[in-house]
Structure 1
Amino acid sequence: MNNGTSKSAIFITGATGLVGSYLLKILLKNGRKVFALARSKAEKSAKDRVVEVLNFWDNEVYPKYGKNLIVFDGDITEDNLGLNEKGLTRLKNEVEEIFHCAASIAFNWPLDKMRQLNVEGTRKILDFALTCPFLEKVNHLSTAYVCGDHKGAFSENDLDVGQKFNTTYEQSKFEAEKLIADYRNKGLWIDIFRPPVIAGESISGKTFRFQGFYQLLHICSLEIFETLPGKNILMNLVPIDYLCESITKIAANTKEKNKNYHPFDPNPVPLEEVLSLYSVLKKVRKPRLVTPDEFAKTDITVIQANILRFNINSFAAGVILDSRRTMAALKNMGFEFPKLNEKVLTRLMRFYKDKKS
């Protein structure tokens, strides 16, 4: 997609987040010029925060490719993305492609607060996109859990299937996708990428976000549950490098417009296998997995209920996340999606265990 002109820059939001930072690393290593949006915090500038997270992944990237990185201190919830006129004009006139990764993934935020960032923030990015004369496309990071409590198959082409939502996060990402449909009708090319549970890097196990998958490991390590409501639950899990390599592959090669993608192995991992592996690695007792109905008959404390509330209960049970169309598209592009085997799972778990010991 890079046409070799000065107007071949990429704009990425959420550059200090897990997915945004890893995508940024790949894009810079691919020789792309990248404008990154981030917020300054406390005594750290936006640029310092972006460089810090790049160094976490690979401390050779910034020294080698930093000349192609321009960091803007901004905020997707503010008018003009919190940028001054000069910065906004430069961005508008040079950006060719947008990766919109900024979002809140907090499961316990109230819906109005979640909407402000995940829905209205997306609206501001798309309004900005409409003003960019050289823009070709927008890549939007969503989640596979827009499926909510849907039972049965849920494919790339599905969205509104009458589902209800387990968290305000799921609902806000669903609403953002509905909003995107309106902007597609306004002429924007917007592809949506829906990852499931995201884990660390497959090679090193590294991550700086210990949510989802890692919260389950934490629950197991506490040894305060005899049973858990996870019988027959299958977990769709994707390492961050598999995810971001597939996203950049599709973004650079697809000719089809306005498609949704499920960038993960279609073969989920049984929760039973995950907890069994970790209980051996950590040398802790594995809780017995039972059905939700069986678990409802057990007495648990308020503390136990709160621990479970936004963890195991928020994983989709009974849904089959279908990623076959995405896998076929990637195969046609020469990318065979790696399998998530026991060796990789153990590597992810070992990094967490060592970090939290």
Structure 2
Amino acid sequence: MTQVLITGFPGFLASRLMVRLTDFYNGYHFICLVQKKFLPQAEKLRTELMAQHPSLNGRLELVTGDITLPDAGLEPAVLDRVIQSAEDVWHLAAIYDLAIPREPAYLVNTVGTGLIAGLASRMKNLKHLFYISTAYVSGKRTGTIYEEELSAGQSFRNHYEETKYLAEVEIRKFRHDLPLTIFRPGIIVGHSQTGETQKFDGPYYVIQVMDRLPKGFLMTLLGSGNHTVNLVPVDYCIGAMAWLATHADSAGKVYHLTDPSPLTQLEIAQSFSDALGKNLHFLSVPSWLAKGVLSIGPVAQLAGLPSVLVDYFDHPHQYDCTNTLAGLEGSGIRCPSFREVSPVLVRYFLEKKKEFATRQALY
């Protein structure tokens, strides 16, 4: 049985990725690295996953540790077993927060990634190291961004982007010595069939604002509305990663897990308006004005829209995903049009809005 070390559990992506991986290959034993403070939550989730997916029974092992410590903070006996027997490493742990201060972001996202890569380099039977980055290591770059590109002198909009970029720089130092694959998702939204998500942020802020508006009302766009926004359902990202990891010759490659035909901000807003039955009208405003107004605390609180959204909803860039499309050929896995997905997301939001609070994703 293949021993797999995975970080980021009990996070939304890591837990669902393990289930999807077993759809393609049933010989995995997962060693889940969990921060001690998240252990009760991880144990609860493990019980739920094994009840829902009996094939996982006895194959989800929880070990406490911390990616920011040498040897991931593993106990000596566990560390020795990982070094001797682990064949695959999936590194998903990160702080996914656009407002995070630089110091904790750098420690977790950059230093932690380098330490996990260093640990992987000591594994006696390592076959593959998979790293989950983000498409937004591109920072403020414009135009078409290709999968093999990383450093192009770009600047960054926040510490999340910068520290994930630096993490890629760090892990690429091992590229010639380790079988490394890098996945770069776009902005991940809920499940395309069920709408399930872990939190209501990003484009969900827009849904929340629209939900409060009366029918036929006027709503301003965050900038021109003419630039595309790369939103991808979580099930597409997970399915693509699992397939590429188990079926494609992925070592040494970078994959953009992005929508090959993304909608513009205006098209996304119209799809949300239609799904909510609002028949809203939209007005374009300069991005500098939208960001300036939303940077005023009381206004941002009243509007329910963080100013950082402007940076992602009004930026002239596209992500090439040639490697991903080629690797998924024949798999039946495709990124659905966001027009298909938006009604599902809105329905889930309406069902869950009273019990849901926007919350930071787990690391």
**Same fold per TM (> 0.5)?**
yes
Within a 5 Å distance, the mapping from 1:18-57 to structure 2 comes to: 18-29=12-23, 30-31=25-26, 32-41=28-37, 44=40, 46-52=42-48, 54=49
Contact 1:149 1:166 in 2 (8 A): yes
CA deviations over 1:42-64 (Å, ceiling 9, x no partner): 78264334445x47xxx521x44
The letter for the 2-side match of 1:319 is H
Aligned partner of 2:353 in structure 1 is 356
Deviates further, 310-319 or 266-275: 310-319
TM-score, normalised relative to structure 2: 0.86
- 1:19 aligned partner, one-letter code: L
Per-residue deviation, 1:299: 8.9
Distance in 1, Cα, partners of 2:309 & 2:276: 20
Between 1:200-209 and 1:214-223, the stretch displaced more is: 214-223
Bigger shift: residues 310-319 or 248-257: 310-319
- C-alpha distance in 1 between matches for 2:157 and 2:185: 17
Kindly indicate whether the alpha-carbon contact (under 8 Å) linking 2:229 and 2:312 is maintained by their aligned counterparts in 1. Answer: no
> Aligned-residue CA RMSD in angstroms?
2.5
Displacement of 1:287: 5.0
- Percentage identity across paired residues of the two chains: 28
Deviation at 1:256, TM superposition (A): 4.7
CA distance in 1, matches of 2:282, 2:270: 9
Tell me, yes or no, if structure 1 residue 164 matches structure 2 residue 155: yes
Which residue in the other structure is 1:3 paired with? none
Q: How far apart, in 2, do the equivalents of 1:338 and 1:108 lie?
A: 28
Contact between 1:22 and 1:240, CA under 8 Å: does it hold in 2? no
Distance in 2 separating the partners of 1:149 and 1:184: 25
Matched, 1:309 2:307: yes
For residue 245 of structure 1, what is the aligned residue in structure 2? 239
Question: 2 CA distance for matches of 1:98 and 1:336?
Answer: 23
User: Which amino acid is the alignment partner of residue 16 of structure 2?
Assistant: Y
Give the aligned partner of residue 268 of structure 1. Answer: 262
Q: SS of the counterpart of 1:140?
A: strand
1:13 and 2:10 aligned: no
Listed as ranges, the matches of 1:288-327 within 5 Å are 288-293=283-288, 295=290, 301-305=296-300, 307-315=305-313, 317-327=315-325
TM-score computed with the length of structure 1 as normaliser: 0.87
- 2:58 is paired with a residue whose SS is helix
Aligned partner of 2:178 in structure 1 is: 188
In the TM superposition, 1:1-357 aligns within 5 A as: 6=1, 8-29=2-23, 30-31=25-26, 32-41=28-37, 44=40, 46-52=42-48, 54=49, 59-61=51-53, 63-185=54-176, 187-223=177-213, 226-230=219-223, 231-284=225-278, 285=280, 287-293=282-288, 295=290, 301-305=296-300, 307-315=305-313, 317-331=315-329, 334-357=331-354
SS in structure 2 at match of 1:183: coil
User: Mind listing any 5+ residue stretches in structure 1 that lack a counterpart?
Assistant: 1-5
Contact persistence 1:199–1:238 (CA under 8 A)? yes
Give, in whole Å, the separation in 2 of the partners of 1:297 and 1:39.
38
Q: Secondary structure at the match of 2:57?
A: helix
2:335, 2:219 → 1: CA distance? Answer: 34
Asked whether the equivalents of residues 291 and 308 of structure 2 are also in contact (C-alpha less than 8 Å), the reply is: no
User: What's the CA shift string for 1:97-123, capped at 9, x where partnerless?
Assistant: 111100001111111210100001101
Q: State the shift of 1:177 in Å.
A: 0.7
Is 2:291–2:307's contact at 8 Å kept on the other side of the alignment? no
Match of 1:275, SS state, is: helix
Gaps of 5+ in 2: 355-363
**Which structure is richer in relative contact order (CA contacts within 8 A, separation 6 or more)?**
2
